[in-house]
Amino acid sequence: KNINKQLSKQSSYSNRGMTLEEDLNETNLYYRTHNIAVVHKKPIPVQIVNVDYPSRSAAVIKEAYFRQASTTDYNGVWNGKYIDFEAKETKSNSSFPLRNFHEHQIEHMKSVVQQEGITFVIIRFVTTDEIFLLEGKVLFFYWERMVKGGRKSIKKDEIIKDGIKIPYGLHPRIDYIKTVQKLNLL
Amino acid sequence: KNINKQLSKQSSYSNRGMTLEEDLNETNLYYRTHNIAVVHKKPIPVQIVNVDYPSRSAAVIKEAYFRQASTTDYNGVWNGKYIDFEAKETKSNSSFPLRNFHEHQIEHMKSVVQQEGITFVIIRFVTTDEIFLLEGKVLFFYWERMVKGGRKSIKKDEIIKDGIKIPYGLHPRIDYIKTVQKLNLL
Ligand SMILES: [Mg+2]
Ligand SMILES: [Mg+2]
């Protein structure tokens, strides 16, 4: 643990208590403002049951429920390419638990690959503040290993070997497009 | 009106009381099932203020508000291309009122074009049950006309001239991908 913490301090910037989502929102705003890419976080899917319409004020949702997301968190367009990804944080130091994904999210990501879109997951190890990008095909490989009865997580060593570490920056904070450009997808 | 109604009856299928959204959801499901495209409607953006966590049952959202959408209704990927569109119904017979759009939606669609994505609006005239696809660049032209002090709507004649009529089908109900293939975008 201590070695990892020391290593992460070597990067020029740290995340200063921001969540992965906050950092990605800042990054996407930077990309949009600088005409680099148009990527948004999708709204949280909510099943609305009861709405109140008070006179002279805005409608109030009085009863609603969280629905399970059928796709991923983020999508958009970069340089003519469709981008679609999920962002996940884990408190584990040694592995990324695959129960963070639902079967239908994996199916969605496979469909994206079939349509020649670019899909990946951005994983943040909270305790060491390290961020990795794992291509869809890598994620599918470890997902299949689990489905076939293998381990229910991806070891951190495997993520280091098969993923790409994204360094923190000042603006944008998580320059994942630069990392996507390194992939042999295009 | 009567002529339009007669014309629309000539198409093989009618929409049978379905809303445009229902027809598009069915179409997108068809596309996904048949590996033609992966397009989803985005969830309604909601600002969640208060959530109740009753023991032994699902979390209940007790207070939330509708937020204005900053993007469009639908996006996804088709054949490596990014697809992004808005769907609008109008009860008017003679024109499509541009107040159906917000400035930031138009800005979003312009950004999509800049990133070489495909963007358009699908307009349904409710009374005649006719559906048209208008490319982003056509929409921007009429939007600019309004901004410069011109009329606040697009005349139906202009939509017929500059758009493409999408016939109703059985499965999929609104085959907009076939129409997109006719555009000189690619
Ligand atoms: Mg997530
Ligand atoms: Mg709409």
In chain B, which residues have their Cβ closer than 8 Å to the Cβ of A60? 63-65
Neighbours of ion ligand 1 (CB under 5 A): A 73, 87
Q: Which ligand is nearest to the CA of B19?
A: 2
Whether the bond into B172 is cis, omega within 30 of 0: yes
Closest to A80 measured CA to CA, from A117, A42, A34 = A117
Q: Does A75 touch chain B (CB under 8 A)?
A: yes
**Looking at residues B119-136, what average pLDDT do you find?**
96
User: pLDDT tens digits for B86-100?
Assistant: 999 999 999 999 999
| Interface test mutation site (partner B, options A48, A77, A85, A186, max chain B beta carbons within 10 A) | A77
What average pLDDT is seen over chain B? Answer: 91
Longest CA span, chain B: 60
Residue B165, C-beta contacts closer than 8 angstroms, at least 6 positions apart? B130, B131, B132
Q: Please give the domain boundaries of chain A with CATH numbers for all domains.
A: 2-43+69-182 (3.40.1350.10)
Residue type, B160: I
Sign of the Cα pseudo-torsion (B159, B160, B162, B167, in order): positive
| CA distance linking residue A121 with residue A31, whole number of Å | 18
| CA distance linking residue A93 with residue B182, whole number of Å | 52
Q: How far is the CA of B59 from the centre of ligand 1 (A)?
A: 18
Residue A114 belongs to what H/E stretch? helix A103-114
Closest to B94 measured CA to CA, from B12, B134, B153 = B153
- Say what the ipTM of the complex is: 0.88
Q: Is the pLDDT of residue B2 over 60?
A: no
| Interchain CB contacts (distance < 8 Å): A and B | 114
Per-residue confidence (pLDDT) for residue A15, from 0 to 100: 61
Q: Quickly state the pLDDT bin for B43 (edges 50, 70, 90).
A: very high
Average pLDDT, 10 consecutive residues per value, chain A (186 residues)? 47 70 97 97 94 89 92 96 97 95 95 97 96 97 98 98 95 96 73
| Interface test mutation site (partner A, options B28, B33, B38, max chain A beta carbons within 10 A) | B38
| CA distance linking residue B31 with residue B25, whole number of Å | 10
CB contact under 8 Å between B80 and A78, yes or no, is no
Beta strands, E only, chain B: 38-41, 46-52, 60-66, 74-78, 81-90, 95-97, 118-125, 130-135, 153-155, 164-165
Q: Quickly state the pLDDT bin for B1 (edges 50, 70, 90).
A: very low
Per-residue confidence (pLDDT) for residue B17, from 0 to 100: 72
